[in-house]
Amino acid sequence: MATVVLVGTLDTKGAEYAWLATRLRAAGCEVVTVDAGVLPPPAGAPAGDIDAAAVARRAGHDLAALRAGGDRGAAVAAMAEGVERVVADLYRQGRLHAVLAVAGSGGSFIAARAMQALPVGVPKLLVSTMASGDVAPYVGSSDLTMMYSVVDVAGINSVSSRILGNAVAAAAGMAAHHERSLNHPQPQGRKLIGASMFGVTTEAVDAARRRLDELGYEVLVFHATGAGGRALEKLAAGGFLAGVLDLTTTELADELVGGVLSAGPDRLTAAGRADIPQVIAPGALDMVNFGPAETVPERFAERRLLVHNPTVTLMRTTAEEMAALGTTLGHKLAAATGPAAVFWPLGGVSAVDAPDGPFHDPAADRAGLVALRAALADSAVTLHEIDAHLNDPAFAVAAADHLHRLITAHDRTTTHA
């Protein structure tokens, strides 16, 4: 039987969770309720199958001390950590086929943290008062589904019963589907490759994708907009990928300089930690991304800017920034446990970094290459300097073929280990 884990603050929403549990059981699901509440529940409130004290202990805290401390923010953070660990425990034990939560802002933060930590493909549904605004903090790079509650989560009424009833039906259906998929797995398909792409590197990625398809792989393409890079890292960390073709590492430039499309400091690390073969290129490292032209910070007013479209303004990276990016890229790859290679196109790193392009700057690109060489000097990572532009099909195919060789050799090594 499929199990739905309910995550909620029973100190304020006990009646709503009792209603959810009753209807999930009527839909044929088992239910495990995890209480994330900090305050003492009112008299007669339903108890969680895993109570708040157990949740706090799982995070190394004492519930009574959290209550006595009087710091709601610290208490919520502690309970979020505890819920994340409890939910992970339930997943490892095979007692979780979907997670459902209904919440306001604090409860949404707690539930979302636990949901984001679960692997891609595990159903996650959050009914929230926050779902009509900026949901990025709640969704992150996960496959979490958010539903707007319309009315506050404050009792069961003619409106909330319809919305929460839909949520119950969705969670029950997803849980049943996920449980069947675990007990009756589909035949193994083609090996998965994660590839990164931007508009200015599309030609390269398309050519590489076609070549990898010929070689028998399925290629998942991630748009390098911050969220895309984080999603690529998450799938690599989760063991979904056989290899990574990271031709578009532009998010590193946004992280360094302060653009709007950073994927965070952990970009370009998951494949290396997971022993996954990877081939990297400096795709679109020539640019930092901002919104409309009027949003570019004043300190960059004298820099080389390009209005890509009304909502995106690009800024050319300097030689100093390219050198820093080359060093960063080299250090991240040098730390990889699996096989890695860098393909550096000597003819330009994006569609606008070509001899007739507005961002053509061979000196800046060379500064990045020189710094990369130095950072890789004592590592096992191979550096291939290719006399071609990044979007030259020959460059892309060479990178794809090399990744195939790395994967093939890696598979032989691990099979015979």
CATH number of the domain residue 97 falls in: 3.40.50.12020
- What CATH code is carried by the domain that includes residue 353? 3.40.50.12030
pLDDT at 164 over 60: yes
Residues 197 and 157 in one domain: no
Q: Which DSSP state fits 346?
A: T
Q: What is the mean pLDDT of the chain?
A: 94
Residues 212 and 160 in one domain: no
End residue of a domain, out of 144, 164, 183: 183
pLDDT at 126 over 90: yes
Q: Which DSSP state fits 229?
A: H
As given in the structure block, the two tokens for residue 109 are 């933060």
- Domains identified in the chain, total number: 2
Residues 322 and 214 in one domain: yes
Residue 140 pLDDT: 87
Residue 120 pLDDT: 87
As given in the structure block, the two tokens for residue 336 are 């990889």
Please check whether residue 99 is in contact with residue 143, taking contact to mean a CB–CB distance below 8 angstroms.
no
* Confidence at 241, pLDDT banded by 50, 70, 90: very high
Among 96, 61, 246, smallest CA distance to 178 is for: 96
What global pTM score does this model have? 0.79
Residues 198 and 151 in one domain: no
CA 36 to chain centre: 25
End residue of a domain, out of 183, 205, 239: 183
Angle at 104 between CA 5 and CA 260, to 5 degrees: 100
| Distance (Å) of CA 110 to CA 121, 163, 171, 264, 286 | 20, 21, 18, 21, 39
Mean pLDDT of 31-44: 88
Residues 198 and 144 in one domain: no
End residue of a domain, out of 166, 183, 200: 183
Residues 48 and 161 in one domain: yes
Mean pLDDT of 222-233: 94
Residues 41 and 150 in one domain: yes
Residues 222 and 326 in one domain: yes
Residues in the chain: 417
Residue 186 pLDDT: 61
Q: What percent of the chain has pLDDT over 90?
A: 86
Residue 54 pLDDT: 96
As given in the structure block, the two tokens for residue 49 are 């199958």
pLDDT at 416 over 90: no
pLDDT digits (tens, 9 = 90+) for 75-106: 999 999 999 999 999 999 999 999 999 999 99
Which domain, by its residues, includes 369? 192-416
pLDDT at 417 over 60: no
Distance CA(326)–CA(371), nearest Å, equals: 5
Place of tokens 């990369």: 372
Distance CA(78)–CA(91), nearest Å, equals: 20
Residue 349 pLDDT: 98
Residue 69, φ and ψ in degrees, nearest 5: -65, -25
Residues 265 and 179 in one domain: no
Residues 299 and 196 in one domain: yes
Mean pLDDT of 175-203: 89
Residues 160 and 228 in one domain: no
DSSP three-state, residue 12 = helix
Residues 270 and 362 in one domain: yes
pLDDT digits (tens, 9 = 90+) for 350-399: 999 999 999 999 999 999 999 999 999 999 999 999 999 999 999 999 99
